[in-house]
Amino acid sequence: MGAKKQSIINQSFHSEFLLLEFSEVRELQILHFFVFLVYYLATVTGNLLIISAVASDHRLHTPMYFFLMNLAMQDLGLVSVIIPKSMANSLMNTRHISYFGCVAQVFFFMFFQSSDFSLLTVMAYDRYIAICNPLQYEMLMNKQACIQMIASVWITGFLYGALNAGGSFASSFCSNVVNQFFCEIPQLLKLVCSDVNQIEIGAVLLGVVLAFCCFIFIIITYVQIFTSVLRIPSTKGRQKAFSTCLPHLTVVSIFVCSGFFTYLKPTSNTPSHLDLAFSMIYSMVPPLINPIIYSMRNKEVKNALSKLLGLRHFSLNNFSSLIL
């Protein structure tokens, strides 16, 4: 009888998971829904504007803006994987996510996250070539090279997403209560019946090592970039170079620091506000601020957006105040 009961429980655990509630108070659940709705609409609108501006303006058909357009696509995918489900749960006063829905969240979240960071590394290389080797830029960053880099980024993300999805659900779970508002790998590892899930731990460690190597590459790249920028005699030239580099370094730092904390800190079986905060920082902040700090403070993109939205009679300064 006990074995039968345990079998029923295991089947239940494998049919669905229970995600973290932001609050049990109905009014606060509705507030959470509207806050996430505003965030989601702002993020989607900002990234769609960047994609549309780059696609519609031939003057933005350069490697830097090509990479920005792909970054916007990845950010759109990232927020769409986790935010709508959390909003729906709050609106309908439920915590449930199906087993296959959880698998899909893990796959697509890691797919877009790893693609995002790989692309940030490629963008650092692009800025390095543009500033440190400007005479070789057109040769090294030609159309074919850019397409190959982007293809590598998306393929790497797909493979890493598949590895994590397969590894996370290779073992059986002894609980179905996920202490996070989406199916996050560190929280899922706490639910595994065995002490060690070697496949997923190996995948996480691989991701951490690769992310650390990319971060070191970005840091070394920017040391050389800043060294070259300081040699530029023109103050305006230095400001322009810094304006394209500092935002990139800021996003990378936020992404890496919050992500490393989430995946490397000691696990706890009780919900933690710190876990929630850092997960929200690395998963929700970059997709929202990327359009602003990368593009909407960029003169060429502002002009393209003015033209796209039919705001030809607006001055550049008026348009800046409109979107910022």
- Cα angle 206, 207, 210; round to 5: 85
- Kindly state the tokens that stand for 169: 């659900």
| Domain tally, the chain | 1
Top mean-pLDDT range of 55-64, 157-166, 217-226: 157-166
| H-helix segments, the chain | 2-15, 26-56, 63-91, 99-132, 137-140, 143-168, 185-189, 198-229, 235-264, 273-290, 299-308, 316-323
pLDDT, tens only, 236-271 = 666 666 666 777 777 777 777 777 777 666 656 666
pLDDT at 313 over 50: no
Only one residue has tokens 């993109």, namely 301
Only one residue has tokens 């998971």, namely 17
Q: What is the pTM of this model?
A: 0.84
Cβ atoms of 121 and 149 within 8 Å: the answer is: no
Strand partners, 18: 96, 177
Question: CA–CA separation, 312 vs 122, rounded Å?
Answer: 34
Question: CA–CA separation, 160 vs 139, rounded Å?
Answer: 31
Short-list 302, 317, 324, CA closest to 54: 302
User: Which domain covers residue 130, as residue numbers?
Assistant: 2-323
- CATH code of 169's domain: 1.20.1070.10
